Structure 1
Amino acid sequence: MPSLRLALRQGPAGAPRTVEDGLAALECAAREAAAGGARLLVTPELSLTGYDPSGGICARAEPADGPSARAVARIAAAHGVAVVYGYPELDPSTGELYNSAALVGPDGTHLADYRKTHLYGDYEKRRFTPGERLVVQAEVDGVRVGLLVCYDVEFPEAVRAHALAGTELLVVPTALMRPYDIVAETLVPARAWENQLYVAYADRTGREGEFDFAGLSALAAPDGSVPLRAGRDAALLLGEADTDLLHKSRTQNGYLDDRRPELYATG
């Protein structure tokens, strides 16, 4: 079975001053990821603009096919690495803003768009519209990759929906803040174990305005291990989503096969 070598970019600390700065930082990360043999680079939530509203992220919003999307496609193709990036998306038909993530293939092909479905706190709810499509997937080198954003992974139903839809590697750009380290340290590995998939969780780090980001980015595996774990500082982590291990683990762990949905309450 195919395996996928991936890179998780944590940071850098602080918001980019401009979208161009965010793109320049992404290109540096793509170059480093490709040099390490990665075929997929995962960056944090709102990685092109920063998360703090004082940085004017809403004013930097673009359509899904806007200039930044085209720039990321060029970066991905230049380095031969797929890229997941976060950005504020403007829907030109409605004027609504979304907290979005996109996946671009290693040849620069646009593969998937996801709008964050579970908005966190008043800060996000005042600025963004929640997405309505939960399971978004695409294939990278034969591995089925799914997208969620930050708070989404804290809802067991969201991750289970991906598991049942066949996601093998769940990619989660995030902006986890202190003091909620438990999400990165405990909940993310538990999601990987109980749903029998990989979870790639890429966080921001350092301070942006009032926000103090936790770091602790991780790759959690379906066998309960955490092959990659960052600390608090900016980092680029390199590792493997090993689909042989995934299918072996699914054979040994019957969570998905042993479900009894007829007994579970809905809503």
Structure 2
Amino acid sequence: MAPVVKVAIIQLYPKPMQLESNFQKAANFIRSAAAQGAQLAVLPEYHLTNWLPKDPQFGELCDQWEIYVKKYQDLARECSISIVPGTIVERYFEEGEGKLLNAAYFIDPQGDIVGKYVKKNLWGPEREHLTSSGRDVHEVFDTPVGRVGLLTCWDLAFPEAFRELVYQGAKIIIIPSFWTLSDCSEAGLARNPMAEAIFLDSTLTARTFENTCAVIFTNAGGPPGRGYAGLSQVTVPFIGPLTRLGSCSEGMSVIDLDMAILEEAEETYKVRADLAKHDWHYDYRFPRNRTEEKL
């Protein structure tokens, strides 16, 4: 019989540049999740700092990344719970120049890091500040809750990322995010102010069906009128969201994720079986000399 995994999704408003305050709030949610029997707690992207990369203080706070990774390791050990602490931006210096990496970790209940992922597909405004993981292969990690893949925010828009993970056997894909309603263009917002909410709800559900996987998506929430999208959710095939938080509020939901539904979905759609065939017809790379007109 497939196991049932108890998952806590935690939707936070990251107060700008307040690392310790934001950590303590997250830690309180995680302790509450553990008390409710959760095996895994997942936080949003940029949950310690918010996203203000042009503020001179931002880089200085990112220098403290190791301190907070260790704090989450200690918290996982204290609560006997696996934690994906959203993302933590890390600053390194090479030849005197600072480099920022947006990193997600999977920490097990013993406090050990069993997986790390550096964001690959950077949203437009991030490209001026962050370094992508580029052409590094997406990895899948063996964790206490099964085979897990990590993605971050805008990675959701790229089905290729999911395919790489599912091909390696990922059953759960975890996506910390800082996705706002105002990420849409002026033209899109004029068509529909809630366009990004439709993007999130429809794409998250589609990804679960087309990959026979579960998706754990945690997004930032915040005060009304500031563009926060929220909509953190655990999504599975056949059903869609098992739980879904509101657009603005902070909060937590603890949900039972029955892994049997993934086996039933694969039996129905046979996506993984097709991917495993020796003559699978989408085994290709785009030609490097393609032109913009062709795209």
TM above 0.5: yes
Specify which of 103, 125, 128 is matched with residue 127 of structure 2: 125
TM-superposed deviation, 1:34: 0.5
Distance 1:34 1:98, change over 3 A: same
Specify which of 231, 240, 258 is matched with residue 216 of structure 1: 231
Amino acid at match of 1:116: K
Amino acid at match of 1:140: T
TM-score (norm 1): 0.90
> Counterparts of 2:244 and 2:64 in 1: how far apart (Å)?
33
> Counterparts of 1:129 and 1:207 in 2: how far apart (Å)?
30
Is residue 154–residue 183 contact of structure 1 (8 Å, CA) maintained in 2? no
Q: Does residue 170 in structure 1 map to residue 173 in structure 2?
A: yes
Instruction: Specify the SS of the correspondent of 1:57.
Output: helix
Residue in structure 2 matched with residue 199 of structure 1 by the alignment: 215
Instruction: Specify the SS of the correspondent of 1:152.
Output: helix
Residue in structure 1 matched with residue 116 of structure 2 by the alignment: 113
Amino acid at match of 1:262: H
Stretch deviating more after TM superposition (128-137 or 52-61): 52-61
Residue in structure 1 matched with residue 257 of structure 2 by the alignment: 241
Stretch deviating more after TM superposition (239-248 or 89-98): 89-98
TM-superposed deviation, 1:262: 2.6
Stretch deviating more after TM superposition (87-96 or 236-245): 87-96
Residue in structure 2 matched with residue 101 of structure 1 by the alignment: 104
> Counterparts of 1:7 and 1:258 in 2: how far apart (Å)?
32
Amino acid at match of 2:244: R
* Deviation per residue, 1:236-256 (Å, 9 max, x gap): 011123222211221121223
Residue in structure 2 matched with residue 4 of structure 1 by the alignment: 5
Residue in structure 1 matched with residue 41 of structure 2 by the alignment: 41
Instruction: Specify the SS of the correspondent of 1:227.
Output: strand
**Count of residue pairs the alignment pairs up:** 263
Amino acid at match of 1:31: R
Larger Rg: 2
Distance 1:254 1:100, change over 3 A: same
Q: Does residue 262 in structure 1 map to residue 252 in structure 2?
A: no
> Counterparts of 1:4 and 1:49 in 2: how far apart (Å)?
30
Residue in structure 1 matched with residue 269 of structure 2 by the alignment: 253
Amino acid at match of 1:188: L
Stretch deviating more after TM superposition (107-116 or 48-57): 48-57
Residue in structure 2 matched with residue 225 of structure 1 by the alignment: 240
Is residue 169–residue 200 contact of structure 1 (8 Å, CA) maintained in 2? yes
Distance 1:78 1:257, change over 3 A: same
Specify which of 186, 195, 207 is matched with residue 202 of structure 2: 186
Stretch deviating more after TM superposition (48-57 or 193-202): 48-57
Amino acid at match of 1:236: M
> Counterparts of 1:222 and 1:230 in 2: how far apart (Å)?
19
Amino acid at match of 1:203: N
Identity of aligned residues (%): 24
Amino acid at match of 2:262: L
TM-superposed deviation, 1:89: 1.3
Distance 1:169 1:162, change over 3 A: same
Is residue 7–residue 239 contact of structure 1 (8 Å, CA) maintained in 2? yes
Is residue 17–residue 48 contact of structure 2 (8 Å, CA) maintained in 1? no
Distance 1:134 1:229, change over 3 A: farther
- Specify every segment of 5 or more residues in structure 2 that has no aligned partner in the other structure, as ranges: 182-193, 287-295
TM-superposed deviation, 1:54: 6.2
- Specify every segment of 5 or more residues in structure 1 that has no aligned partner in the other structure, as ranges: none
Q: How does 1:67-82 map to 2 (within 5 A)?
A: 67-82=67-82
Instruction: Specify the SS of the correspondent of 1:238.
Output: strand
> Counterparts of 1:108 and 1:118 in 2: how far apart (Å)?
28
Distance 1:59 1:195, change over 3 A: same
Distance 1:83 1:113, change over 3 A: same
Moved over 4 A (4+): none
